[in-house]
Amino acid sequence: MPFVRTLVRWSCFTAAAATLAIPSIAADKKAAPKEPVAAMPSYYGPQPATESLDLSMYARIREEGFRHSHVMEFADALTNGIGPRLTGSPNMKKANEWTRDTLTKVGLENAHLEDWGEFGMGWQQINTWGRIVTPDSEPLWLQAAPWSPATNGPVTGEAVYINISDVKDLDKYKGKLKGRIVLFGAIRTTPDLDGPLFHRYTEEELKEMETYPEPRAGAPNVQQLMADRMRMRQVRTEALKMMTDEGVAAIITPTRDGGKGGGTGIIFDDNGANLVTGAQKKEVAVTIPNAVMMIEHYNRIARLLEHNVPVTLEVNIETKFTGDHEHGFNTVAEIPGNDPKLKDQVVMVGGHLDSWISGTGATDNGAGSVVAMEAVRILKSLGVKPKRTIRIALWSGEEQGLFGSQGYVKQHFGTFAEPEHPDAPSVPAFMRTKGKLTTTKEWETLDAYYNLDNGTGRIRGVYTQENYAIAPIFAQWLAPLKDLGATTISYRNTGGTDHLSYDAVGLPGFQYIQDPMDYETRTHHSDMDTFDRLHATDLEQAAVIEAIFLYNTSEREAMMPRKPFPHPELDKQRSAPLEGIYPNAAETK
Ligand SMILES: [Zn+2]
């Protein structure tokens, strides 16, 4: 099934649907005649039987990366020095400029910012607080939802609890909400933590990743899931419209859980907290100040209201819009290649620089950004003159849909034609079956892209995105690094982050296997995502391994092997049921 991707554990950009097989919109099986598979071009190219590794360079990179590391200096400056970096915001601009200038300072060339297009509103949170006024006084822990307007000073109002699953349920609130503070969303019990918040992969877990994934028993019913999701989105839209018409003073939503049932006082503040999809767009901007609250505080107020105890709240949501049509930028810099034949070929490393707002975007994805910066700093400090060009890219717009890396790939390597199907525009981009892929000259020169965006955990191996030819190459590269715990080559796909933008157009793009740590349970998109959660030795290890992967790729005899050229249309036909093979089946008209 052409559109299936196996999401191993988590994704940064929560496009959960990407893990599910969606019956492609344009699945008009009878339309195009079958084409022989052989027709597709392949860039497999001759590959050396064994990798020739420069183990002295391995030693020099380890020495520089472990004895003279600067990765935590970068991390301190980015997370404590600049802070949360929502795309389009003033801090994002600071981070783009700081990374550009710092990469220049550590010796990289052509450092510049690339505009990938219009993103939406510029926004920042200034100050958010709340408290129960009656029947008891209690300070409340909440943060503004991204792109929320301000309350223009503290507002006091009676609280109303709205937990509905059907538009009809809205009627009973009509005419009763003016100036109220609405708790919108269900009370959520928080089960006891049944396991540690912090975890490193065990040998068994890593071994399991080397196996072909069996389809999970009781896999979710896709259509039902999507139908439920669409229906809840409709209810939310109607409710928001009614609350706007009624003149509600503010909306409070309960934070989602972090996969371990949540609780523990953490606020997850990402697009899950938004009341509309694509909340950064001026045309769909929410006009009621809204914030997301720690579940324990949310549950107390909602329970009081369920017991018909009147509750008065005071909330102050102070935010600022800094532009309506801000563009997004990627930071790009390089160590130019030197080999006359190979210098125009490029090996890239990167991760997204943007973050959500409630913490300082340390593990997501300050970690991946500073590790990439450290990897190229290591190579530059060792005076490496690579054969191929080594390029770093730090993306923005990742959290809202891989916008920065997709924009870069579109501008440099290739793009898909839009599908012709009439109602395609109404379906989210990542669910659409793509049209024909057109590639550029530059597409031929991109050797590989390495991404790090699964938190602060050390590298335990690589997902090869079903690129079977590349697996033995990576295995040979990792063998001398066994002592660092990087041992696992998984053929599997992993999703939800920027390597997908390369993989989608048939270019080798990879995300490393990283120890989970407390990424999903505590820091991923939460107020706990701070410098304190970064692990220095893990980030040093990751930078050493990325530097070695960059060096090996740039010095290799041959370009890295690729998967067959993506042919979305053809791929779909190849999976279409074979016609006329069923015994005694009558001819279908
Ligand atoms: Zn991320």
How far apart are alpha carbons 267 and 524 in whole angstroms? 10
Could you tell me the distance, in angstroms and rounded to a whole number, from the CA of residue 455 to the centre of ligand 1? 8
Name the percent of the chain lying above pLDDT 70: 87
How far apart are alpha carbons 132 and 362 in whole angstroms? 31
The HSE-up count of residue 301 (CA atoms within 13 Å, CB side) is: 33
Whether residue 58 contacts residue 548, with contact meaning beta carbons closer than 8 Å, is answered with yes
Give the model confidence (pLDDT) of 494-505 as tens digits: 999 999 999 999
Could you tell me the distance, in angstroms and rounded to a whole number, from the CA of residue 450 to the centre of ligand 1? 14
Give the model confidence (pLDDT) of 240-293 as tens digits: 999 999 999 999 999 987 665 556 789 999 887 788 889 999 999 999 999 999
CATH of segment(s) 122-210+222-323: 3.50.30.30
Which segments of the chain belong to CATH 3.50.30.30?
122-210+222-323
Q: What pLDDT is recorded for position 396?
A: 98
Element (H, E) at 208: helix 203-209
Q: Are strands 389-395 and 312-335 parallel, antiparallel or unpaired?
A: antiparallel
Structure tokens at 136: 């008891």
Best CA proximity match to 265, nearest among 303, 313, 314, 299 = 299
Whether the pLDDT of residue 33 is over 60: the answer is no
Our measurement of the distance from residue 401's CA atom to the centroid of its chain's CA atoms, rounded to an integer in Å, reads 7
Q: For domain 55-120+324-572, is the CATH number 3.90.870.10?
A: no
Distance set, CA 500 to CA 5, 295, 346 (Å)? 10, 33, 18
Query: Phi then psi for 335, rounded to 5 degrees?
Result: -110, 105
> What string of DSSP letters covers 437-487?
EEE-GGGGGEEEEEE--S-SPPEEEEE-TT-TTTHHHHHHHHGGGGGGT--
Could you tell me the distance, in angstroms and rounded to a whole number, from the CA of residue 12 to the centre of ligand 1? 4
Could you tell me the distance, in angstroms and rounded to a whole number, from the CA of residue 522 to the centre of ligand 1? 14
Could you tell me the distance, in angstroms and rounded to a whole number, from the CA of residue 497 to the centre of ligand 1? 7
> What string of DSSP letters covers 505-554?
TT--EEEEEE--BTIIIIITTBTT-SGGG--HHHHHHHHHHHHHHHHHHH
Best CA proximity match to 41, nearest among 567, 573, 582 = 567
How far apart are alpha carbons 439 and 380 in whole angstroms? 31
In the predicted model, what is the mean pLDDT of residues 315-332? 98
Could you tell me the distance, in angstroms and rounded to a whole number, from the CA of residue 454 to the centre of ligand 1? 7
Element (H, E) at 139: strand 138-140
Q: What pLDDT is recorded for position 313?
A: 98
Give the pLDDT band of residue 18 (cuts 50, 70, 90).
very low
Could you tell me the distance, in angstroms and rounded to a whole number, from the CA of residue 9 to the centre of ligand 1? 13
Q: Note the residue count of the chain.
A: 589
Name the percent of the chain lying above pLDDT 90: 74
Q: How many CB atoms lie within 10 A of CB 192?
A: 7
Could you tell me the distance, in angstroms and rounded to a whole number, from the CA of residue 583 to the centre of ligand 1? 51
Whether residue 430 contacts residue 460, with contact meaning beta carbons closer than 8 Å, is answered with no
Best CA proximity match to 374, nearest among 83, 62, 124 = 62
Structure tokens at 219: 């896999």
Q: How many CB atoms lie within 10 A of CB 285?
A: 18
Could you tell me the distance, in angstroms and rounded to a whole number, from the CA of residue 268 to the centre of ligand 1? 14
Q: Are strands 250-254 and 389-395 parallel, antiparallel or unpaired?
A: unpaired
Could you tell me the distance, in angstroms and rounded to a whole number, from the CA of residue 523 to the centre of ligand 1? 11
Whether the pLDDT of residue 337 is over 90: the answer is yes
Whether residue 550 contacts residue 375, with contact meaning beta carbons closer than 8 Å, is answered with yes
Could you tell me the distance, in angstroms and rounded to a whole number, from the CA of residue 464 to the centre of ligand 1? 19
Give the model confidence (pLDDT) of 345-374 as tens digits: 999 999 999 999 999 999 999 999 999 999
Q: Is 47 helix (H, G, I), strand (E, B) or coil?
A: coil
Residue 320 identity: K
Q: How many CB atoms lie within 10 A of CB 42?
A: 12
Q: What pLDDT is recorded for position 273?
A: 78
In the predicted model, what is the mean pLDDT of residues 206-218? 83
Could you tell me the distance, in angstroms and rounded to a whole number, from the CA of residue 453 to the centre of ligand 1? 5
Could you tell me the distance, in angstroms and rounded to a whole number, from the CA of residue 460 to the centre of ligand 1? 18
How far apart are alpha carbons 554 and 536 in whole angstroms? 27
Name the average pLDDT for the chain: 89
Could you tell me the distance, in angstroms and rounded to a whole number, from the CA of residue 229 to the centre of ligand 1? 23
Could you tell me the distance, in angstroms and rounded to a whole number, from the CA of residue 187 to the centre of ligand 1? 28
Could you tell me the distance, in angstroms and rounded to a whole number, from the CA of residue 13 to the centre of ligand 1? 6
Could you tell me the distance, in angstroms and rounded to a whole number, from the CA of residue 96 to the centre of ligand 1? 16
Q: Which of 137-141, 183-187, 195-199, 411-415 has the lowest mean pLDDT?
A: 195-199
Q: What pLDDT is recorded for position 356?
A: 97
Q: How many CB atoms lie within 10 A of CB 509?
A: 25
Could you tell me the distance, in angstroms and rounded to a whole number, from the CA of residue 368 to the centre of ligand 1? 8
Could you tell me the distance, in angstroms and rounded to a whole number, from the CA of residue 491 to the centre of ligand 1? 22
Strands (E), 146-195: 155-162, 181-184
485: left (phi over 0), alpha (psi -120 to 50) or beta: left
Which segments of the chain belong to CATH 3.40.630.10?
55-120+324-572
Whether residue 128 contacts residue 143, with contact meaning beta carbons closer than 8 Å, is answered with yes
Of residues 380 and 220, more confidently modeled: 380
Cis before 308? omega within 30: no
For the question of whether the overall pTM of this predicted structure is more than 0.75, the answer is yes
Q: What pLDDT is recorded for position 25?
A: 39
Give the pLDDT band of residue 43 (cuts 50, 70, 90).
low
Burial class (CB within 10 angstroms; exposed 0-12, middle 13-18, buried 19+) of 295: buried
What secondary structure letter does DSSP report for 268? Answer: B
Q: What share of the chain is helix, strand, coil (3-state, %, to 5)?
A: 35, 20, 45
Could you tell me the distance, in angstroms and rounded to a whole number, from the CA of residue 364 to the centre of ligand 1? 5
